[in-house]
Amino acid sequence: MVLFPFSDYWWFYLAFTVFIFLILALDLGVFHRKAHEVKFKEASIWTCVWIALAFLFNYLFYLYARYQFSVGERYLSIPDFDPSAQAKTSALEFLTGFVIEKSLAIDNIFVFVVVFSYFGIPKMYQHRVLFWGILGALAFRIMFIALGSVLLQYKWVVIFFGVLLIITGINMFFAGTKQQDLENNFIVKQLKKVFKIHPQIEGQNFFLKKNGATYVTPLFLALIFLELSDIIFAVDSVPAIFAITNEPLIVFTSNVFAILGLRSMYFMLADVLDKFIYIKYGLASVLVFVGLKMVWLNEAFGGKFPITWSLGIIASLIGFSILISLVIGQKKINV
């Protein structure tokens, strides 16, 4: 049973979406109106702001869910339904989904670094590219979540995506920290065939008109590549959150909050990513774990693996991989 059906909570989706667009408009129109290089301090502050907003939303969501579960007729008719306990579970599901998406977003950051380096995007224009990239990513995630909420009602689809996550995690584990090569990347090659490319970056323009012809700049190529890359990442991240909860509302809101903070997290971590040499193994382990949840663990635990255990395991896998990276990285520096 879905606790937050779209038919009853469409206004919640609408209000949340309007709120997000207002924040994005404020972000681009006020705080980042002028193109500039985002320094570590600014990025750290914004990262904290986005995380604080997510936690504030989660707390308000918990209070709202507890109230709705206490007075709503559709909930009162459920046998042995505990409004307070279910509200806590829903809040924990949001938090776990947020942690999963935030963790998997680290892989996006590795791609950002490679793409911006390959296309020669100056740091002062990277925020603009990422802003529109994030906006497009939100649109694609909404479509993936809507599709997933329908398809993942079928057991064979759940098993298929669970196996896909396990295979992806295993591949990521054995791929290790291998540097990506965009020179021979299929997407890059196709982009260069489709568009007339202006080799120079002129300001923050995505398009240039010269001699009656329209050219795309390297900024636009980087944007398209990031959008297509996010579609690929979404195939992993959206089912991963559905492994935690079957509530599209929770999947949607946790996904959006994690993506919103992705830009600031990139600018905060871009220059120190080389220190997190084992983070990919932590991410790979998370994918394998959530894949196992979809294929086996949920059924083994009576239909749903305990959410508190899931949060603890995921946080431990990511935290341990970061700790090992920092310890070993520091030893290498000392040597």
Residue written as token pair 């649109």 = 139
CB atoms within 10 A of CB 221: 23
Predicted pLDDT at 248: 93
pLDDT in tens, 18-66: 998 888 877 766 666 676 677 888 888 888 999 999 999 999 999 999 9
Q: Is 192 among the domain residues?
A: yes
At 301, phi and psi to the nearest 5? Answer: -105, 35
Query: For 153-178, what is each residue's pLDDT tens digit?
Result: 888 999 999 999 999 889 888 875 55
**Predicted TM-score (pTM) above 0.75:** yes
Q: Which domain holds residue 10?
A: 6-334
Q: Is the pLDDT of residue 184 over 70?
A: no
In this structure, is residue 1 part of a structural domain? no
Residue 214: phi and psi, rounded to 5, are -100, 125
Is 220 part of a structural domain of the chain?
Answer: yes
Would residue 124 count as lying in a domain?
A: yes
Residue 181 lies in a domain: yes
Residue 226 is assigned to a structural domain of this protein? yes
171 within some domain: yes
Q: Report yes or no: 246 and 2 within 8 Å, Cβ to Cβ.
A: yes
The tally of domains found in the chain comes to 1
CA distances from 214 to 169, 200, 210 (A): 42, 14, 7
64-101 pLDDT tens trace: 999 999 998 888 888 888 999 999 999 999 999 999 99
